[in-house]
Amino acid sequence: MSYRKFKAAQIFTGNSWAPPESVLITSENGQIEAIIPMADAGENVLELDGILCPGFINAHCHLELSHMKGRIAPSTGMVPFLLQVMSRRQAAAEEIEIAMQEADQAMWNNGIVAVGDIANTADSLTVKKNSRIHYHTFIECSGFIGSTASIRFDQAKKIREEFNKIGPSGIVPHAPYSVSPELFRLIREYDSEAILSMHNQESVAEQEFFLSGYSAMNDLYNSIGVDIGFFQAPGTTSLRAVFPFLKNSRKLILVHNLTTSEEDLNFITKESSSTIYFCLCPSANKYINEKLPPVDLLQSYNDNIILGTDSLASNYQLSIIEEIKLLSVSFPTIKLGQLLKWATLNGAKALDMDHTLGSFEKGKLPGIVQLQDWKSKRVI
């Protein structure tokens, strides 16, 4: 068998740093064989600058919104952002398709090998079918009016049937403020083994709506003509209000977590039998709300942190290294190795892809990315 050999200033395995003067050995197609000392590697070692690490996992993206890049100004706040997404997302099918193809290629070029992608339609089906990236598609279901739950859920099932033909998929709730109890129950009962993902505590407005019943969220419902006179604020945070519908899922990905508190974390610790992952999308949080999540607090709860980019409607690019860079600058006590683990092995575990991706372990095909001067470049 012919082997390829790679050496760099540092090698991050997905779990930890390899010993100094290590060489990564792969087959011709990139399958991992071993990490060995330079003294045992023999000839034909390709020496690279910077850091080598496994391919990145983008655990939260909206590929089908790629045509909205630059259409929404930053710093609008959550409710104006949502209203603009709803009013501006329509476009010609060809425009949507081209934008998704370009976004998919950009992610690949930036070293992303897998994506947990939100879909509200089947628009991204062809791009994903032809992509070199591994996709897990989360078909997002929403509807705050209980009487429409079965209709909304049937629509989501039809979309899932299409995506199931090309890769793993599941039906997930959008957010606490947009999913009725009836719809939450249908999602929960549909597939007990599914990975659930939900936009969680993404704004102060969401939090105030569940605590008091009044916030900018009321303007959202009024603007789209939804009568929420039936809604009685539970007087608790949005996460605690809907957690009974989520607590028994096999895996639960909570995305954004901008206003998550220590009390929330203590509550879900006591209540949950799920493996919970906190997905950080810091660039999108800055873009929309000029705010970052309490990363140190989330890290103190568990190390199941993963990274996402959100969409090009709420980000300037789909680049995990840019997310790492922002976190590194904003939370300087978090070491680079920790951030890289969140971006590689943790993400692969969250999406059930760690049998192939996420780490330099024998038999895996995780891809190899070179990091230098806060830039990422695909090696394999």
Q: What is the pLDDT of residue 242?
A: 97
Q: What is the pLDDT of residue 180?
A: 98
Determine contact, residues 201/260, Cβ cutoff 8 Å: yes
Determine contact, residues 59/347, Cβ cutoff 8 Å: yes
Structural domains of the chain ordered from first start? 1-55+358-380 (2.30.40.10), 56-357 (3.20.20.140)
Task: Please tell me the distance from the alpha carbon of residue 99 to that of residue 107, in angstroms, as a whole number.
Answer: 12
Q: What is the pLDDT of residue 130?
A: 98
Six token digits for residue 37: 């000392």
Q: How many C-beta neighbours within 10 Å does residue 151 have?
A: 12
The dihedral region occupied by 171, where left means phi > 0, alpha psi between -120 and 50, and beta the remainder, is beta
Crossing angle of helices 216-223 and 78-88, rounded to 10°: 20
* pTM exceeds 0.95: yes
Task: Please tell me the distance from the alpha carbon of residue 133 to that of residue 79, in angstroms, as a whole number.
Answer: 32
Q: What is the pLDDT of residue 273?
A: 82
Instruction: Flag whether pLDDT at 227 surpasses 80.
Output: yes
Tell me the three state secondary structure of residue 327: helix
Residue 11: exposed, middle, or buried by beta-carbon count in 10 A (0-12, 13-18, 19+)?
buried
Instruction: Flag whether pLDDT at 1 surpasses 80.
Output: no
The percent of residues above 90 in pLDDT, for the chain, comes to 96
- pLDDT per residue over 292-334, tens digit each? 999 999 999 888 999 999 999 999 999 999 999 999 999 999 9
Mean pLDDT over residues 163-192, rounded?
Answer: 97
Tokens 């996992």 belong to residue: 57
DSSP label at 67? Answer: G
Instruction: Flag whether pLDDT at 144 surpasses 90.
Output: yes
Q: What is the pLDDT of residue 57?
A: 98
The dihedral region occupied by 237, where left means phi > 0, alpha psi between -120 and 50, and beta the remainder, is beta
DSSP label at 133? Answer: S
Mean pLDDT over residues 227-241, rounded?
Answer: 96
Q: What is the pLDDT of residue 18?
A: 98
Closest CA to 219 of 98, 113, 78: 78
Closest CA to 138 of 155, 112, 159: 159
